[in-house]
Amino acid sequence: MKLGFGLYRHQLNDDHFRFARQCGATHLVVHWVDYFRSSRSNNPNDQPVGDDSGWGLAGDPDQLWDRQNFEELRDRAAAHDLEIAAIENFDPAHWHDVLLDGPKKGQQLENLKSIIRAVGAAGIPVMGYNFSIAGVAGRVKGAWGRGGAEVVGVSGPCDTPIPNGMVWNMVYDRTAPSGYLAPISHEELWRRHGEFLDAIIPVAEEAGVTLAAHPDDPPMPTVRGQPRLVYQPGMYQRLIDRHSSPRNALEFCIGTLAEMTDGGVYEAVDTYSRQKRLAYVHLRNVRGKVPHYQETFVDEGDIDMLRVLQILQKNGFDGVVIPDHAPQMTCAAPWHAGMAYACGWLKAAIQSIG
């Protein structure tokens, strides 16, 4: 198993590359979408949380990510002895109508194919995505961690409707007519996802890129009045059964799985790692389940993380594990301290299981 480190778009600079390497990471997972663009409510030194207005403004719909972007990234990381393990998440600007089944869907599926080819051409093996209309919405912050550390959590359902022009918790059209997205069924969301896989998997196979699906966080049946694709562990099976290609894989988020109400997290780790369908792993501990849970330090919370790593090891998982999010620690660099703590714990744990 390899220790990776996730960096947000605004952190793609030498200082953060050095920091990740100093934490012991050998691999990077890079968020190429800038969640913090024109954001009114996000702290750039924390994971994005946002409010009902979302995280920030989606990118330029006409500026597709290209091979040169990713080759430059790969080379800059290599100068710090870091390998790019994955690009995480598409920009809503490039695929809003794939999620919403809108009029630009055809063109936007071509956008995604072009991005997948660019990722592959730069030798980056994985593209992570989250097929979600509400995205990571409905979370709140509080001093609920050990020693009063500020953490993220969920305290009750969140079904405020999503305004037009917004999807995946970002605004892609500031001039959209007033009104809200119409609710759809869970089956309709699966139909849209199937169409996405049918179009993209053949291109991913050609490009040598594995598509990796994150489950819905928070994993409630609906968020902001919209259905969630994968909100119970068993729904991941439906996703991988949709296409037998090993390029159809999972961005396996242990914290999100633990927040789900059905079944146990160890059973889910065993089930999916045995099938060799994990592209990479997000590791984060939590206390509670939806609709009431809080993120915690890696060594508190409900999950025995060492047991999770042992199951992954037993099933031969040799990929990248990253600390997903970490509590903010009380000091001059709360995000850095939290991430360094998680990396140190994780590196020692990986060593201890051999």
The residue with tokens 């917004």 is 166
Output 124 or 253, the one with its CB closest to Mn ion. Answer: 253
Ramachandran bin of 24, using left for φ above 0, alpha for ψ from -120 to 50, beta for the remaining angles: left
- Which amino acid appears at position 247 of this protein? R
Can the peptide bond before residue 157 be classed as cis, meaning omega within 30 degrees of 0?
Answer: no
At closest approach, how far in Å is the CB of 55 from Mn ion? 15
Cβ distance to Mn ion smaller for residue 126 or 203: 126
Min dist CB 71 to Mn ion, Å, is: 27
| 127 near Mn ion (CB under 5 A) | no
Of all residues in the shown chain, the one whose CB is closest to Mn ion is: 253
In whole angstroms, the minimum distance from the beta carbon of 324 to Mn ion comes to: 4
Instruction: Please report which residue ranges of the chain form alpha helices under DSSP H.
Output: 14-22, 67-78, 92-100, 105-121, 186-207, 235-241, 254-259, 265-274, 305-314, 334-352
The CA-atom distances, in angstroms, between 282 and each of 224, 255, 297, 316 are: 24, 7, 14, 17
Tell me whether residue 91 or residue 324 sits nearer to Mn ion (CB atom): 324
Site for Mn ion in 153-212 (CB under 5 A): none
Site string for Mn ion, 39-68 (x = CB under 5 A): ------------------------------
Q: Identify which of residues 42 and 111 has a Cβ nearer to Mn ion in the complex.
A: 42
Residues that bind Mn ion (rule: CB under 5 A) add up to a total of 3
Residue number, 1 or 207, with CB nearest to Mn ion: 1
Q: Which amino acid is at 220?
A: M
Q: Residues 307 to 326: which contact Mn ion by CB under 5 A?
A: 324
In the complex, minimum distance from the CB of residue 255 to Mn ion, in angstroms, rounded to a whole number: 6
- At closest approach, how far in Å is the CB of 61 from Mn ion? 26
For the bound state, the minimum distance from the C-beta of residue 256 to Mn ion, rounded and expressed in Å, comes to 6
Closest CA to 92 of 2, 3, 181: 181
Phi first, then psi: give them for residue 244, nearest 5 degrees: -80, -10
170 vs 253, beta carbon nearer Mn ion: 253
Q: Report the sign of the C-alpha dihedral through residues 156, 157, 160, 164, in that order.
A: positive
Figure out which of the listed residues 243, 282, 287, 336 binds Mn ion, where binding follows CB under 5 A: 282
Residue number with CB closer to Mn ion (207 or 326): 326
Q: Out of 84, 115, 253, 305, point to the residue binding Mn ion (CB under 5 A).
A: 253
Cβ neighbors of 11 (< 8 A, separation 6 or more) are: none
Least distance from Mn ion to the Cβ atom of residue 6, Å: 9
Residue 27 pairs in a beta bridge with 4, 83
Interface residue list for Mn ion (CB under 5 A): 253, 282, 324
